[in-house]
Chains A and B, each alone.
Chain A
Amino acid sequence: MFSTFKQDRTYLTQKFRKDVCDPVTGLDLNTLKERLKEFTEPLVGESHTVIKAKAFEYVTKNVQIDVNPHDWFVSFGCWNRYDRPLNYLLKKWNSVVDQKHLSEIIPLINEFTKSGAVAMWKDFDHSVPDWDAVFRLGFPGLRKRARQYKDEREQSGMLTDEAKIYFDSIETVYSAILEMLERFHAYALANADGNERVLSVARCLKTLIHGAPTNTYEALQLIYTYFVFGEHIDHMQVRSLGNLDRILYSYYKKDLGDGLFTEENIREFFAYFLMQWGSINNYWGHPLYLGGTKENGETEINELSYLILDVFDTLSIPTPKIQLKINRNTPVPFVNKAMDMIRRGHSSLVFVCEPSVKRTMMAAGYSEAEARTFDITGCYEFGPRACHNSTAGAYLNLLKPLEWVLNNGSDPATGVAVGLETGGVEQYTTFDSFYSAYIRQLGHLIETSIQYVTEAEKYLHEINPAIVLSASIENSLKTAKDAFSNGTVYNNTSILCAGFGTLIDALMAVKEFVYEKNAVSLRELQNALKNNWIGYEKLRLKVLHSKNKFGNGIAAVDTYAVAVASFYAGKINLRPNARGGFYRASIHPARTFITLGEKTGATPDGRMSGDEMSKNASPTMGMDRNGVTALIKSVTSIDSAMFPGDFPLDVMMHPATVQGDDGLAAMRTLLNAYMEKHGIAIHFNIFDVKVLLDAQKYPEKYESLQVRVCGWNVRFNDIAKKEQDAYIRRAFNICE
């Protein structure tokens, strides 16, 4: 039953990439989708929540399943996250909302989106259940608790039609979940053919049908099945598998104490568990986190924290990704272990500094306990555990307002007037007047985007009611409101941005070359950008060669970084959103530093049209030339408390710098210095430029070479040449 991981790995890798289910158990995906359409058509007119709950039930009853002897975890026919059965419903309801409620503002936003000023969609990608409740209660307990809340309301005469729909949909969905677990159970028993493992899976399912998990394996099966029910059927991304070392520690200790499992068995469960997401292989990586601090000030790091890292290390997969909640109390051997993995290229790890997050959250009004026990979600975002949801409302392109300044409010590519009329280039006679125009245009971008997001978020629950999630969040049950819309205690919205560092470089280039050195007029510069620097190659080289770049510890440059960051954050933070929560500023772009870059023309910092821009609080790739201490100095000159959304930094170092025990100590010193300066998240790429160049030439030699992108890792071979080149540009500056 155990020691089989090697031979099962091929099966596990394929599990979420092709059909592995038993065809006799249900409908294939295409038929399922067609029948589901037929099934939901007569329901038109009913509340979306009701329709969704029934559709959920239809899927759980009819989708193909499998319990495979190669796996410890069950298989669902709806494995393909790009083709989920309820897709069409959500798409339909999204356009209904657009037509019914947002038609006035959509034309302007379409122009914004088309020109690359902003990337936005109604975000259902960042839900995190109350994992402690899920573990304590199990699926049946969650259903029972919802029933109790419904009864209370009924008895006090508070059960409105809306509340009734809310509770009934939870009843439908959680009953459907339990029935589906029954299906798995029956299938396992019928097809075990004496296979010990399949029989073990059946026993595990039986426990989960009747209550909470009782051991480590059952707990992992619970996380996994909750994830698939939530993400693949209920269409709400489960953006953290939880604080695994803290949550699972009691099960782990008990299992070892009782002799139920050996340490080796548990390692194997984790290998199979982590491989589920290794197989799903979403480019953004799937998060879980370790560590933190207990109420008494002790670290949450325990033997299981090491075990999980260890297993992850052996798998050599870029996803899931692991966030490490670090504090001054985090044991040195644990930090060393993580640092050692990172320097060997197993770098899908990010350090999130607890004291800095705490300081930032308390500045946003959270209590001490909320600010200490925060969940880490998505890439490195954070929010109080079990009482918070946060959407990514909009990703703003910070370079677009600069294009508007140079073109009097018009987008240079589409010609459409989307910005403000701040005047022609001749009117900016001083850098101050140029800068003021930029700030006005940036304000316009922020205001317009927030106006749209505020409208759009009024209807999140009409597009995608979060039924699975709601049952896990106690405040949602108390208020009978959708947990992802407005039913948690804090229903917040992040406004994110791309190109911060590049913007600062661009402003500094205008200041230096147009206004200080008079090397070029603003009119000529505009022309150079229009021509993508063709005919202006020497000017471009001069600009690129200039010292005035963000990330080099130059006070005169960093002053502008602080100013723009403060303006941006000040415009966003704590403004009320449409869901009873508030907006929060984030400096993280996800993939938009590439996608919005593609829609942005050449910029004064020397960037070519269509090139990527900087990401996170980091400088433009290749422009930090003064080493890592100057980099951290520049970045932390910005007060991270202004970024309750998140504040991450990317660091690249040469392998020779971090070799040996001295190297580990140096990495730790760096992390501590960043933490002391209130930096929030930090992650590393340890590269030798020679290796990257060789990998570009001979990809077959570097199948497992990973690079950290934004909040996730990818295989170097899987990214476009242009993106590879950006890493190589940066690595050229990193010396031994």
Chain B
Amino acid sequence: MSTTGIIFDVKRFAVHDGPGVRTTLFLKGCPLRCLWCHNPESMLVQPRLAYYVHKCLHCGECVSVCPTHAHALFDGKHAFDRSVCTACGACEEACLGSALKNYGEAISVDEAVQIVIEDRDFYGEDGGVTLSGGEPLFQMEFCCDFLKQLKALGIHTAVDTCGCVAWSALEKVLSVADIFLWDFKHSDREEHRRLTGLPNDLILENLNKLVECGARIEVRIPLVPGCNDSEENLSATAKILKKLHVERVRILPYHALARTKYEALGMKNAIHDFSPSEPEIVLCAVDIFRSRGINAE
């Protein structure tokens, strides 16, 4: 029996998750709580049911399949009691309006390999498989076994990480990850803590070590207005990255927040609104890195 992991999504024909055309597996669980998080369903390892109220047809199909009576119909209206929901997922299939979505599915390494192998013909020369999340290395054993199998099959692998994990985890996947996509949130220790919940010491230490090991690294900076898009922070970031000789920096413009997803997950309290990145600011950010001789886009 192979190791089991908890995933919340599979994205096929992903073109923004590393080189070429890829299949991205999203793993649940993350040590950070970034204010702007796009995947709130990934924060906890445990599965969680999302209820998209605007899609609900109030048909009542979920009521009869729910073992814990989390769903009910009152006066023809659907009511959902999250406190008793065990996120078993039975209602997802029954739902006629695609209003219920259970984030979190246990999957064995063998099954995961089967999923990504289906798309092998589309990877071309550059593409392959990306592990993302959440923080994929939160489920380190699954990652390690999964990547090992992919390497044995000759498939290109990428690990999209926030870097906030024990060095031992990174060290373990070092030989089976062809490239690391390193999410760099902020250069300043305290600001990092304010924005993500944790300071960046471990992240910087790990990044240093990874560079020393000669790993291929693409640094990705989610540019969030008012959080990390100041010239001061970007210059400081560029200074750090310049020293480390990272291969490439990619600026990821911030789009509107996944507000409906937060609401559907019952995480309204965690919503922090930011306006989308202005195109000029994005260009300026890219320039800051390029002007220091860093390959950025």
Residue ranges of A at the interface with B (Cβ–Cβ < 8 Å): 538, 541-542, 545, 553, 626-630, 632-633, 657-658, 662-663, 665-666, 669-670, 672-673, 676-677
Contacts and interface: CB of A to CB of B under 8 A. Distances in A.
B118 interface: yes
17 contacts: A538-B96, A541-B57, A541-B97, A545-B96, A629-B12, A629-B23, A629-B118, A629-B122, A662-B16, A663-B15, A665-B15, A665-B21, A665-B124, A666-B15, A666-B21, A676-B121, A677-B121
B127 A633 contact: no
A626 B12 contact: yes
B56 to A, nearest CB: 12
B64 interface: no
B20 interface: yes
A673 B124 contact: yes
Contacts of A632: 122
B59 interface: yes
Nearest to A658: B15
B13 interface: yes
Nearest to B119: A629
A669 B127 CA distance: 9
A476 B225 CA distance: 72
Contacts of A670: 13, 21, 122
A16 B61 CA distance: 58
Contacts of A545: 95-96, 98
Given A541-B59, A669-B127, A630 B12 contact: yes
A414 B207 CA distance: 74
A567 to B, nearest CB: 27
Nearest to B97: A541
B157 to A, nearest CB: 18
Give chain B's interface residue range (CB within 8 Å of chain A).
20 to 34
B156 to A, nearest CB: 13
Chain A interface, >50% SS class: helix
Nearest to A546: B93
A670 B127 CA distance: 12
A657 B12 contact: no
A673 B59 contact: no
A669 B59 contact: no
Contacts of B61: 538
B284 to A, nearest CB: 19
Nearest to A676: B121
Given A626-B12, A665-B20, A666-B21, A673 B96 contact: no
Give the residue among B12, B23, B59 with the most A Cβ atoms within 10 A.
Answer: B12
Contacts of A677: 121
Given A545-B96, A545-B98, A657 B15 contact: yes
Nearest to A547: B93
Give the residue among B20, B122, B127 with the most A Cβ atoms within 10 A.
Answer: B122
Contacts of B20: 665-666, 669
B13 A629 contact: yes
B98 A673 contact: no
A672 B121 CA distance: 9
Given A541-B59, A629-B12, A662-B15, A673 B121 contact: yes
A672 B118 contact: no
Give the residue among A545, A657, A665, A669 with the most B Cβ atoms within 10 A.
Answer: A669
B21 A669 contact: yes
B118 A553 contact: yes
A673 B119 CA distance: 10
Return the 6 tightest CB-CB contacts between A and B, nearest first.
Answer: A669-B124, A541-B96, A666-B15, A627-B12, A629-B12, A669-B21
Contacts of A626: 12
Contacts of A629: 12-13, 23, 118-119, 122
Contacts of A665: 15, 20-21, 124, 126
Interface string B10-22: 0011011000110
Given A627-B12, A658-B15, 4 more contacts: A545-B95, A662-B15, A669-B123, A670-B13
A332 to B, nearest CB: 12
A626 B57 CA distance: 23
B179 to A, nearest CB: 14
A627 B15 CA distance: 13
A538 B269 CA distance: 35
Contacts of B123: 669
A633 B122 CA distance: 10
B11 to A, nearest CB: 8
B122 A673 contact: yes
B13 A538 contact: no
Nearest to B96: A541
A538 B59 contact: yes
A542 B124 contact: no
B169 to A, nearest CB: 29
Interface string B35-79: 000000000000000000000010101000000000000000000
A556 to B, nearest CB: 15
B112 to A, nearest CB: 16
Interface string B152-190: 000000000000000000000000000000000000000
A517 to B, nearest CB: 12
Give the residue among A545, A632, A666, A670 with the most B Cβ atoms within 10 A.
Answer: A666
B124 A627 contact: no
B258 to A, nearest CB: 12
A657 B14 CA distance: 8
B118 A633 contact: yes
A111 to B, nearest CB: 39
Given A541-B96, A665-B20, A672 B124 contact: yes
Contacts of B95: 545
A673 B23 CA distance: 15
A633 B115 CA distance: 13
Give the residue among B15, B61, B118, B123 with the most A Cβ atoms within 10 A.
Answer: B15
B13 A666 contact: yes
Interface in B61-110: 61, 95-98
B81 to A, nearest CB: 24
Interface string B134-156: 00000000000000000000000
Nearest to A662: B15
Interface string B239-277: 000000000000000000000000000000000000000
Contact of B122 (A538, A542, A669): A669
B252 to A, nearest CB: 12
Contact of A628 (B13, B57, B59): B13
Nearest to A632: B122
A630 B12 CA distance: 9
A6 B246 CA distance: 51
Nearest to B60: A538
Contacts of B98: 545
Interface in B2-34: 12-13, 15-16, 20-21, 23
A673 to B, nearest CB: 5
A657 B124 CA distance: 16
Nearest to A628: B13
Contacts of A663: 15
Contacts of A628: 12-13
A672 B122 CA distance: 8
A207 to B, nearest CB: 49
Given A538-B96, A541-B96, A669-B127, A627 B121 contact: no
A663 B123 CA distance: 14
Give the residue among A627, A672, A677 with the most B Cβ atoms within 10 A.
Answer: A627
B55 to A, nearest CB: 11
B137 to A, nearest CB: 25
A677 B118 CA distance: 13
Nearest to A653: B13
A553 B117 CA distance: 13
A663 B13 CA distance: 11
B79 to A, nearest CB: 20
A541 B126 CA distance: 41
A410 B186 CA distance: 71
Nearest to A670: B122
A324 B98 CA distance: 40
A541 B57 CA distance: 10
A542 B61 CA distance: 10
